[in-house]
Amino acid sequence: MRLPRFHRLPQRVSWPRRSLGRWIVVALGLGVLAAALVGAAGPYRQTREFRETVACDRSVGDCFGSEAGSIAGRRTYTTTSTTTYTDASGQTHSDTTTTTHYEVTWQRANGSRQARDVSSSFYTKAKEGQPATLRLWRGEVVGVEVMGDAQWFLPESGATLNGWLYLAYFGLGVLLWGLLFGWWDGFFMLAFRTFAWMFMSFLPVGLVTDALAYGLDMGAGLAVEIVFILFFTGIGASLLIGSLDRW
């Protein structure tokens, strides 16, 4: 007599094992978040000190150092970014954006050169070979003045603070994932959700750092920035929520 064959059922992960995995993710996210906040403490303090110098310069004047320099070069270039998202009906859409950047290179008194992106209005006035006044804070160039117009930049501490804030936001995402969801469905979905989560942070983190360094501009510029933040945050949120079909 032949015995009936039984198909082997797929092995399920036990609840204790799943719980252990989720708590490992929670601990990892909490560790990254804590390390990022500790790392951001120094740059935050330096950025606040820079903000005090900005406030002094606006109220009293001549609180930044100055140095004679010149415009050594200028150029424009474009970058293209494509965003793909899926709407509620399951249809996939792609939006392509082309951005024109205006770059100016200045030369310091010691012969060193540095290139940074500037506004289009400043780019128009900054002609190659033209004298420029460089505004200094603790030895680094934080502003360039040409023909009565000025372009200001974040100090190195502000750029470093940006990086730590991005890392803190990433750690927060890992922490929330472990607390709220915690399932595993492949490396592709991990990378996709990470991209969507971090996509929501780019503009808000930049706005926060700029506000810490220079204060908030309460004019039309702030309203435009908020609109862009809401738009791109909405795109990132829709990508992230759309990937949670198991919820």
Average pLDDT over residues 79-91: 66
Average pLDDT over residues 214-227: 79
- pLDDT value of residue 232: 84
pLDDT category of residue 52 using cuts at 50, 70 and 90: very high
**Residues sharing a CB contact under 8 Å with residue 14, sequence separation 6 or more, in sequence order:** none
Least confident of 14-18, 37-41, 174-178, 211-215: 14-18
- pLDDT value of residue 86: 59
- pLDDT value of residue 169: 96
**Residues sharing a CB contact under 8 Å with residue 58, sequence separation 6 or more, in sequence order:** none
pLDDT above 90: residue 181:
no
- pLDDT value of residue 13: 43
Alpha-carbon span 47 to 31, nearest angstrom: 24
Average pLDDT over residues 67-78: 94
pLDDT above 60: residue 17:
no
Average pLDDT over residues 59-72: 93
Average pLDDT over residues 24-39: 96
Per-residue b/e over 149-169, b at no fewer than 16 CB within 10 Å? eebbbbbbbbebbbebbbbbb
- pLDDT value of residue 14: 43
DSSP conformation class of 183? -
Number of other CB atoms surrounding residue 71 within 10 Å: 19
Residue 23: both structure tokens together:
């708590």
pLDDT above 70: residue 117:
yes
Residue whose pair of structure tokens reads 């372009």 in the numeric block: 151
- pLDDT value of residue 89: 60
H-only helix segments in 60-145: 120-125
pLDDT above 80: residue 115:
yes
pLDDT in tens, 118-174: 999 999 999 999 999 999 999 999 999 998 899 999 999 999 999 999 999 999 999
- pLDDT value of residue 9: 37
With H, G, I as helix, E, B as strand and everything else as coil, classify residue 114: strand
Q: For the CA atoms of the chain, what is the radius of gyration?
A: 25
Alpha-carbon span 184 to 164, nearest angstrom: 27
- pLDDT value of residue 87: 54
Mean pLDDT estimate for the chain: 86
Residue type, 30: L
Q: Phi first, then psi: what are they for 94, rounded to 5°?
A: -130, 130
pTM of the model: 0.78
Residue 65: exposed, middle, or buried by beta-carbon count in 10 A (0-12, 13-18, 19+)? middle
- Work out the percent of the chain whose per-residue pLDDT is above 90: 58
pLDDT category of residue 116 using cuts at 50, 70 and 90: very high
Alpha-carbon span 82 to 102, nearest angstrom: 21
Residue 135: both structure tokens together:
């505004």
In order of 75, 90, 103, 111, 155, the CA distances from 107 in angstroms are 15, 53, 14, 6, 18
Residue whose pair of structure tokens reads 């502000």 in the numeric block: 158
| Chain centroid offset of residue 100 CA | 19
